[in-house]
């Protein structure tokens, strides 16, 4: 019997006995060159392992485990819209919006912009910002500050219409436009005459510049 087989057998016996064996502890008992192989065997077993018959005290201990509670909270947050995720994770971390704003401003060298950063975060949590316009850099920083994986706060994909097909691209209206179309064209014309908005600074780009900003 190889050492991998022996340790796997011991782990299975301990699992079935309800002893809650520690995977990391078993991996430390084997030379580093063989740990990946043992880890693969253990994960294969755990993917099909029956739930141990824990007593009530053990179940209560597992439920109270801070690491498990954090994982459950993170999983629950991942199903919420991004503004709600930020709010829930900030409260879980015990941070006020001002605390989070300070950390974000420091992360990007924007210490003088804490007040504006606070305003942006308040608008984000209040659902007033378009979450698809958040930069990936900002979302990664928020995840790092709040102690979660970056994927938990990835900016959502913006919807975009499909490219026009050849028939659509070549279509031209015949005759006079309808009143609705004429109104839309007038609105576009008026918008085109307005001056361009001021350029965005670094803080604006983080919250409004889009995923690649």
Q: 92-132: per-residue pLDDT in tens? A: 899 999 999 999 999 999 988 999 999 999 999 999 999 99
Rounded to an integer, what distance in angstroms lies between the CA atom of residue 113 and that of residue 126?
A: 20
CATH, domain range 66-156+204-208: 1.10.260
What was the pLDDT predicted at 20?
A: 81
The single residue listed with the structure tokens 């755990």 is 46
SS3 51: coil
pLDDT exceeds 70 at position 196:
no
More confident residue, 161 or 129: 129
Percent of the chain at pLDDT exceeding 90: 38
Per-residue pLDDT tens digits for 28-72: 999 988 988 999 898 888 888 887 766 778 777 766 777 666 666
More confident residue, 133 or 18: 133
Q: Which range has the worst mean pLDDT, 51-60, 70-79, 163-172?
A: 163-172
Residue 165: which residues within 8 A CB-CB, separation 6 or more?
none
Q: Where are the domains of the chain?
A: 3-63, 66-156+204-208
CA Rg, the chain, in Å? Answer: 27
Nearest to 41 by CA among 80, 6, 83, 92: 6
Q: What is the mean pLDDT of residues 78-83?
A: 79
Residue 142: which residues within 8 A CB-CB, separation 6 or more?
86, 100, 104, 153
């Amino acid at each position: 019997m190889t050492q991998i087989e022996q340790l796997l057998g011991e782990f299975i016996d301990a699992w079935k006995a309800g002893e809650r064996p520690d995977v990391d502890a078993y991996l430390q008992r084997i030379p580093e060159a063989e740990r990946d192989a043992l880890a693969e065997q253990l994960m294969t077993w755990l993917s099909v392992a029956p739930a141990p018959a824990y007593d009530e005290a053990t179940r209560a201990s597992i439920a109270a485990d801070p690491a498990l509670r954090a994982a459950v909270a993170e999983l629950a947050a991942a199903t919420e819209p991004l503004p709600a995720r930020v709010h829930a994770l900030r409260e879980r971390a015990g941070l006020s919006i001002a605390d989070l704003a300070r950390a974000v401003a420091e992360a990007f060298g924007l210490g003088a912009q804490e007040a504006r950063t606070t305003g942006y975060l308040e608008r984000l949590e209040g659902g007033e910002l378009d979450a698809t316009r958040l930069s990936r850099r900002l979302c990664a920083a928020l995840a790092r500050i709040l102690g979660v994986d970056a994927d938990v706060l990835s900016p959502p994909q913006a919807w975009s219409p499909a490219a026009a097909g050849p028939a659509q691209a070549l279509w031209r209206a015949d005759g006079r436009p309808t009143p609705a179309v004429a109104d839309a064209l007038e609105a576009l014309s008026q918008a085109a005459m307005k001056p361009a908005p001021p350029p965005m600074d670094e803080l604006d780009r983080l919250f409004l510049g889009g995923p690649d900003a």
